[in-house]
Amino acid sequence: MDSRTNAEDCLGWAATDPSGVLSPYKFSRRPIGSDDVSIKITHCGVCYADVIWSRNMHGDSMYPLVPGHEIAGVVREVGSNVQRFKVGDQVGVGTYVSTCRDCEYCNDGFEVQCEKGAVSTFNGIDVDGTVTKGGYSSFIVVHERYCFKIPNNYPLASAAPLLCAGITVYTPMVRHNMNQPGKSLGVIGLGGLGHMAVKFGKAFGLNVTVFSTSISKKDEALKLLGADKFVISSDQEQMKGLSKSLDFIVDTASGDHPFDPYMSLLKTAGTYVLVGFPSEVKFSPASLNLGMKTFAGSITGGTKMIQEMLDFCAAQEIYPQIEVIPIQYATEALERLVKRDVKYRFVIDIENSLK
């Protein structure tokens, strides 16, 4: 262990039962090891995962539960072996804080797919056997491998949502070669993930069409986010008019929806990537086979891709649309998230509201 040989008290907000109501909670972070970074958290994005586990929707929540896996802050101390970071650096932490560091996926910098399972930033089991607690808190101690440099010219509040929402769409877009200028992209859903897919699509030089069930999203999609087209997905005439017109589709919708109508929009050899979690995926084999189409799934990303995305966003001046809130508003924010009443990501101002 390094200079701080004892575990240190941390202030957070936690859910204590499946109601998901958050309240102040003090707990201990592990001491800093030689390869660890201690980070003062300044901002934390609010993700639907926070709703799921604070309310025990998967039946595996370990209370008290401190949510938050879109973490941005400033390094306050480093272990003796740490080379990549120094005190004062802007850094981020995403959806996982440890992996085996020895399997083929870890060796390839794709740690999110670790064969032994990545340790979640909250509600996971940490290296010291304790339950991980997330970013709705004053600081966090993380192995340096799972920290990412946020460029100095990039605002920490804007960086937070990139660590989950941003990387969840960036990873499959790069993996499936969607960064080809002049190609066409369809984005299904215009929430926290969808609006980032639009932003990345435009930065890659794609012609972007947004599909939504809500006409109220039209002006936002076209004027605020810069999409080229907006389509109401229930309008069969609009959908038929786009038959075989798209090279790529990124589907961010987690509500149940039909897949065949969207598959028909892909060109021959087009690629459809699902990043949402509907209760089932069902389409005709003909939708896939006849046009030599690819249907793929994806989650977040490995450490190499996360750092690449952060640097890309800074260089291209890509910023999520955020609503900054105090920690005291977190429970209400989670409820609004369930109602899809956010444009497009809540970010908690930890530094100025968690006292």
Look at the pTM and tell me if it is higher than 0.85: yes
| SS3 of residue 57 by DSSP | coil
Write down the pLDDT at residue 3.
Answer: 45
CB atoms under 10 Å from CB of 3, counted, come to 11
Q: Is 301:10 a contact under the CB 8 Å cutoff? A: no
> Is the bond into 105 cis (omega within 30 degrees of 0)?
no
Q: Which amino acid, residue 130?
A: T
Write down the pLDDT at residue 128.
Answer: 86
What's the sign of the alpha-carbon dihedral 335, 337, 340, 342?
A: positive
* Spatial separation of the C-alpha atoms in residues 301 and 168, rounded to whole Å: 7
Write down the pLDDT at residue 136.
Answer: 98
299-309: string of b/e by CB count within 10 Å (b at 16+)?
Answer: ebbbbebbbbb
Q: Is 310:159 a contact under the CB 8 Å cutoff? A: yes
Tokens 């999409």 locate to 227
**pLDDT tens for each residue of the chain, 355 residues long:** 444 446 689 999 999 999 999 999 999 999 999 999 999 999 999 999 999 999 999 999 999 999 999 999 999 999 999 999 999 999 999 999 999 999 999 999 999 999 999 999 999 999 889 999 999 999 999 999 999 999 999 999 999 999 999 999 999 999 999 999 999 999 999 999 999 999 999 999 999 999 998 898 899 999 999 999 999 998 889 999 999 999 999 999 988 999 999 999 999 999 999 999 999 999 999 999 999 999 999 999 999 999 999 999 999 999 999 999 999 999 999 999 999 899 899 999 999 999 8
CB atoms under 10 Å from CB of 258, counted, come to 10
Write down the pLDDT at residue 6.
Answer: 64
* Spatial separation of the C-alpha atoms in residues 51 and 312, rounded to whole Å: 29
The H or E element containing residue 76 is strand 71-78
Write down the pLDDT at residue 125.
Answer: 95
Write down the pLDDT at residue 216.
Answer: 87
